[in-house]
A and B are shown apart, each in its own frame.
Chain A
Amino acid sequence: MKFQAELRNHQREIHLFRLRLLLCLGFVLILLLILLGRFFYLQVVRQSDFRTMAETNRIKPMPIPPNRGQILDRNGVVLARNYSGYTLEIDPSRVSNLEGTIEELSRLVTITPKDLRIFKKLKAESHDYASLPIRSRLSDTDAARFAAQQYRFPGVEIKARLFREYPFRESASHLIGYIGRITQDDKEQLEEDEEVASNYLGSDYIGKGGIEQRYEKELHGTTGFEQVEVDAGGRGVRTLSRTSPVSGNNLVLTLDAKLQEIAEQAFGNYRGALVAIDPANGEVLAFVSKPGYDPNLFIDGIDTETWDELSNSPDVPLLNRILRGQYPAGSTIKPFMALAGLHFGTRTPEQTIRDPGYYMLAGSSHHYRDWKTGGHGSVDMFKAIQQSCDTYFYGLATEMGIEKMHSFLSQFGFGNKSGIDIDGELTGLLPSEAWKQDHLHQKWFAGDTVSAGIGQGYVLVTPMQLAFAASIIANDGIAYRPHLLRQLQTSGKPAQPVPPVQPVFDMHLAPDDIDLVKRAMAAVTQPGGTAAWAGSGAPYTIAGKTGTAQVIAIKQNERYVESQVGERNRDHAWFIAFAPAEKPRLALAVLVENGGHGGVTAAPIARKVFDYYLLNKVPQPLQASAGKSGGEHD
């Protein structure tokens, strides 16, 4: 009985166990089905997604940066070029102990404190995964020494790179500009356009000023790409396909490097600016802003010390004086005033005034002094320009009024950008009643017009504007936009002919008017003119106008005595000119900061430039190095 009960119990137990086992089997089958469903989902339903992800894992597009175009002068002299060299680069994200690694490296290769400073600055500015140069332009011995020890330095690599070089250094630095490493700010700007951003994937540098910046698009070229199969560590396994990069265009500038060099030398120790333009087409042949700076310093990031030195120098070498230096026009405004007077009929050529050495407004006792004590006596328009008679133009300005003056002079580009192909140009200032009301919230006074008549008071011009204005007179009122780009050379293609330049406008000046002003300007460099010394002995005629821009105001009862004011408070000297006067081939504006009188310091610089350009005459101190650079001039 008991045995039977136990047996039944046993049967029940087996039954229960089998039921539980069956449940387990069901559980197993359900889970296996879930797995199978998961496989189906991953491998069939979402197969293409994961295929893409695997391909993205596997294939990385590696950018191949293009060669940057060179910059040449009009005769093929190289102003900016590339050369290949080695650079030692550190990828900070792959180096655990950066300080220690650099310490070790410096025992192997030359690393100067300056290199270190630049590296630290770059590191602070760069994004995460970039590899940064610790030492550029590695010497062959350093490169070899590092290569032998490379295994000790994971994350440090030698890379072959093209370096930018500006062989003319300070000369034309403001014109050429420079390239610098792409900063976070640059990157953000590039990323605004997806296509542009992808073209810069392999690029480390971008144009930062002058031509390098303005023609960045033309110079940069098109980045090539390699589809590289990589492993999980990002190391390339093999190349699957390749699209070659396309080099940037070479830029041929209108600049004449030799003329530039001569103009620069002619300044001696003076600071200042000179722009020379071919009036027949607006080609800029010389573009001098002194002092300059060495653009080579900026390429791999300038160190703070050198930067401070440059930016705090009282000579402001970083200022592009041609486009951003705004000075009173002084007497250089007079030929334009004369044309205005003739145009509006305010004066006839023959009309004379008596100059007692000062000018007084009706109902006022204030004396507006002429530069010549005692005055010029009887003065007509020709003499007023030749001798730069202030009294004549005080009266002319007063009778004409500021509004007419404003409307006529703005045609010569005063108060406007010249439109030259470099960024950052300032407009200067050609005042008007409206301008004074808007900006100073003051009424225009008659005295303001008097000062404006001789280019003082509110009038401000840039050397670029004066050169442009001079070129318009030289070309009888027909204006050509000043420009620096002459030709684009695409690599692998024959040079395109230089496209003809169209005039931007014609002022339709009366031939008699322009003839008179040009003759009077020619007389400036003749005996009796304000720049007679500069014109003496020249086998061609220079038409010019001197000018003086005051640095400090002289009180009513004082006189300006050059020897008594500090050197930095001395007047700036102006000279605008074109030559030959009869058929001008070159127009220019010269500014000599603290140079005193235009006829004494500025005009001789112009003479040297004309002598070389028109006669191919090289000044004495330059002749030794004359054959070295620059092509022959026609």
Chain B
Amino acid sequence: MIRRLWKHFIAPFDPVLMIGLGLLVSASLIVLYSASDGSLAMVGRQFLNIMVALTALWLISSMPLHYLLRSAVPIYVLGLILLLGVMTPLGVNSHGATRWLNLGVATIQPSELMKIGVPLMMAWYFEKHEASLTLKNYFVATLLLAIPIILIARQPDLGTAILIAASGFYVLFLAGLSWRVMLVTLVAGLAAAKPLWSVLHPYQQHRILMLLHPETDALGKGYHTMQGMIAVGSGGFLGKGYMNGSQTHLDFLPERTTDFIFAVFSEEFGFIGAFVLLGLYLFVIARGFVITAEASTYFTRLLAGSITLTFFTYAFVNMGMVTGILPVVGVPLPLISYGGTSMLTLALGFGILMSIHTHKQLVKT
């Protein structure tokens, strides 16, 4: 009886993925303890975030796939409504950006919902027109992607907008968007780059400029990038040792429990540590690819592929930003950075992946 119950309980979990995720969140707790200068309270809160995320993961992964398929449109529409709501007086302005919505009981960030909502909607759309895909379908899908992106970019939240754009593009790409169209779009995009540049907010322009020459403004906007690079570089091959990073513990690193946590990790664990971390991410991503390849329907294939690639994109953008090859866009390191929202969003993604994996046989039969 108990064994059956237990089996039912763990059945939705994909063991391989769980090992990878478990190792990454364990690393999160360890690094966070150092990044917060030994704050057990912070580690405790992150543990709670992980537990909440684990619950969500379990709920999603045990949910039958047709629920997911049916929920695509409502989630997308709800997301759009909330995004529009941000533009009403209910929107909460902070640091010059209006990204939050005050619902009375809680303040939420609708763009987080769209991280899942957009690929879900696009995969649903392609599934619906699977039998006869024409260029028009790709155009409509692009429109479904463009609307939330424009709304988010206007908030302004360039980082999230770019990441959602990436997740949508992965769907288009996997759905077989022709190379010719991609090439034409790319050329058109490059031509539009100059007018687009002028549309960007000055601080966004500055961040991109700083990326090219961080050392020219070491005390100004390039400070974050420079201090991140110093932390990573000074870690050396073996690292300075756990809790021993001077950049971390003397406050030189900005945002060291969130966006720059990778710098803390690299300073204290060195190249070896960073290598192992990359390995862990690759392990999770590879499992994602396997699940994608084995997915049984068009919808689940597109969705699983997009989720896996988006997860990779988050990790790449964050590490690229900290090490100075990408602009500072304010993206947390997935599964490592402190924060409940990001953890929950990731759990939703991995929950869907696991659900796709566990339910594929059921669909087949």
Of B170, B233, B325, the contact of A43 (CB 8 Å cutoff): B233
Stretch at the interface among A18-26, A372-380, A606-614: A18-26
When the two chains form the complex, which single residue of A13, A28, A39, A229 contacts B309, counting CB atoms closer than 8 Å? A28
B104 to nearest A CB, angstroms?
Answer: 36
The segment out of A46-54, A252-260, A535-543, A550-558 that lies at the interface is: A46-54
Indicate if B231 sits at the interface (CB-CB under 8 A): yes
Is B48 engaged at the interface, CB distance under 8 Å to the other chain? Answer: no
Q: How many residues of B contact A (CB 8 A)?
A: 42
Select A36's contact among B170, B275, B301, B305, beta carbons within 8 Å.
B275
Task: Please determine whether B323 and A24 come into contact, CB atoms closer than 8 angstroms.
Answer: no
Assess the B252–A57 pair: CB atoms within 8 A. yes
Interface residues of B in 28-62 (CB under 8 A from A): none
B278's contact among A32, A42, A43, by CB below 8 Å, is which? A32
Q: What residues on A are CB-neighbors of B319 within 8 Å?
A: 35
- Partner-contacting stretch, out of B138-146, B152-160, B266-274, B341-349: B266-274
| Given A18-B293, A57-B250: A47 and B285 interface contact (C-beta under 8 Å) | no
Do B250 and A229 have beta carbons less than 8 Å apart? Answer: yes
CB distance from A128 to the nearest CB of B (A): 12
Within 8 A of A (CB), among B201-255: 227, 229-237, 246-247, 250-252
Known: A17-B174, A231-B251. A35 touches B320 (CB 8 A): yes
- Contacting pair B170 A24 (CB below 8 A): yes
A130 sits at the interface (CB 8 A):
no
CB-CB under 8 A for A24 and B282, given A38-B325, A53-B234, A232-B252: no
User: Once the chains bind, are A24 and B250 in contact (CB under 8 Å)?
Assistant: no
Is A57 a contact partner of B274 (Cβ separation < 8 A)? no
Pick the contact of B176 from A17, A36, A58, A230 — CB < 8 Å?
Answer: A17
Contacts A24-B309, A229-B250 given; indicate if A38 touches B323 (C-beta within 8 A): yes
Contact indicator A42/B233 (Cβ below 8 Å): yes
Interface string of A2-40 (1 = CB under 8 A from B): 000000000001001110110011001001101110111
Q: How far is the CB of B68 from chain A (nearest CB, A)?
A: 19
Nearest CB on B from A173, distance (A): 45
Q: Which B residues touch A25, using CB under 8 A?
A: 289
Interface contact B271-A40, CB-CB below 8 Å: yes
Given contacts A18-B293, A35-B316, A36-B278, contact A43 B266 (CB under 8 A): yes
Interface centre among A35, A229, A233 (most CB of B within 10 A): A35
CA distance A54 to B25 in the complex (A): 28
How many angstroms from the CA of A172 to the CA of B266 in the assembled complex? 66
Interface size on A (CB < 8 Å)?
36
Question: With A47-B237, A57-B246 given, is the CB distance from A42 to B232 under 8 Å?
Answer: yes
Give Cα distance in the complex from A177 to B277, angstroms: 68
* B316 → A minimal CB distance (Å): 5
Contacts of A34 in B (CB 8 A): 325
Contact residues in A for B292 (Cβ distance below 8 Å): 21
Expressed in whole angstroms, the Cα–Cα distance for A232 and B247 within the complex equals 9
| CB neighbors of A among B325-355 (8 A) | 325
For B173, list chain A residues within 8 Å (CB). 20, 24
Partner of A54, one of B170, B176, B230: B230
- A237 at the A/B interface (Cβ < 8 Å)? yes
Instruction: Report how far A17 CA is from B127 CA in the complex, Å.
Output: 13
**Interfacial chain A residues near B298, Cβ < 8 Å:** 13
CB distance from B244 to the nearest CB of A (A): 12
Q: Which residues of A contact B234 (CB under 8 A)?
A: 47, 50-51, 53-54
Asked if A43 and B237 make an inter-chain contact with CB atoms under 8 angstroms apart, the answer reads yes
A237 contacts B250, CB within 8 Å? yes
A44 sits at the interface (CB 8 A): yes
- Tell me whether B305 and A24 are in contact (CB under 8 A): yes
Complex contact A46–B250 (CB within 8 A): no
Residues of A within 8 A of B278 (CB): 32, 35-36, 39
Q: Mark B160-192, 1 if CB is under 8 A from A, else 0.
A: 000000000010011010000000000000000
Give B249-307 interface residues, CB cut-off 8 Å to A.
Answer: 250-252, 266, 270-271, 274-275, 278, 281-282, 285, 289, 292-293, 298, 301, 305
Whole-angstrom distance between the alpha carbons of A72 and B285 in the complex? 81
Known interface pairs A43-B236, A43-B270, A44-B271. Does A54 touch B229 (Cβ–Cβ under 8 Å)?
no
- B316 to chain A: which residues have CB within 8 Å? 31-32, 35
Nearest A residue to B302, CB-CB: A17
Query: Which residues of chain B come closer than 8 Å to A50, judged between CB atoms?
Result: 229-230, 232-234
Q: Which of A34, A38, A43 has the most C-beta atoms of chain B within 10 angstroms of its own C-beta? A: A43
Inter-subunit contact A35/B233 (CB<8 Å): no
In the assembled complex, B314 has its CB within 8 A of some CB on chain A? no
In angstroms, how far is the closest chain B Cβ from the Cβ of A14? Answer: 8
Q: Which residues of A contact B282 (CB under 8 A)?
A: 28, 32
A16 close to B236 (CB less than 8 A): no
- Contacts of A237 on B, CB cut-off 8 Å? 250
Option from B170, B229, B237, B251 in Cβ contact (under 8 Å) with A44: B237
In the assembled complex, the Cα of A507 lies from the Cα of B334 at a distance in Å of: 94
The residue among A34, A36, A54 with the most chain B CB atoms within 10 A of its own CB is A54
CA distance A39 to B262 in the complex (A): 11
**B156–chain A nearest beta-carbon distance, Å:** 26
A51 closest partner in B (C-beta):
B234
Within 8 A of B (CB), among A39-97: 39-40, 42-44, 46-47, 49-51, 53-55, 57-58
Query: Among A21, A31, A49, which residue has the most Cβ atoms of chain B within 10 A?
Result: A21
Alpha-carbon separation in the docked complex, A229 to B292 (Å): 52
**Which A-chain residue is minimally distant from B229 (CB atoms)?**
A42
Q: Mark A231-260, 1 if CB is under 8 A from B, else 0.
A: 111000100000000000000000000000
Contact A35 B323 (CB under 8 A): yes
Instruction: Return the contact of A49 from the options B233, B270, B275, B323 (Cβ within 8 A).
Output: B233
- What 1/0 flags go to A586-599 for Cβ under 8 Å of B? 00000000000000
Nearest CB to that of A34 among chain B residues? B325
- Given the complex, which residues of B lie within 8 Å of A46, measured CB to CB? 233
CB distance from A469 to the nearest CB of B (A): 62
Which chain B positions have C-beta within 8 A of A21? 174, 289, 292-293, 305
B174 touches A230 (CB 8 A): no
Chain A residues lying within 8 Å of B251, measured Cβ to Cβ, are: 231-233
Asked, given contacts A40-B271, A43-B232, A43-B270, whether A17 binds B250 with beta carbons under 8 Å apart, the answer is: no
- For B281, the chain A residues whose CB sits under 8 A away are 32
Asked if residues B285 and A28 are in contact (CB atoms below 8 Å), the reply is yes
A57 touches B237 (CB 8 A): no
Task: For B238, give the chain A residue with the smallest CB separation.
Answer: A43
From residue A76, how far is it (CB to closest CB) to chain B in Å?
50
Q: B275 contacts which chain A residues (CB < 8 A)?
A: 36, 39
List chain A residues, Cβ under 8 A from B320.
35, 38
Contact with B along A374-398 (1 / 0, CB 8 A): 0000000000000000000000000
Contact A39 B271 (CB under 8 A): yes
Task: Flag if A17 contacts B266 (CB, 8 Å).
Answer: no
Q: A42 CA to B231 CA in the complex, in Å?
A: 10
Interfacial chain B residues near A229, Cβ < 8 Å: 246, 250
B208 to chain A, nearest CB (A): 18
Q: How far is the CA of A24 from the CA of B292 in the complex (A)?
A: 12
Q: State which of A28, A43, A231 has its C-beta within 8 Å of the C-beta of B235.
A: A43
Binding site for B on A (CB under 8 A): 13, 16-18, 20-21, 24-25, 28, 31-32, 34-36, 38-40, 42-44, 46-47, 49-51, 53-55, 57-58, 229-233, 237
8 contacts between A and B (CB under 8 A): A20-B173, A39-B266, A39-B323, A42-B233, A43-B237, A43-B274, A51-B234, A54-B230
Apart from the given pairs A47-B233, A51-B233, 6 other A-B contacts in the complex at a CB distance below 8 Å: A17-B301, A21-B305, A42-B323, A43-B266, A50-B232, A58-B246
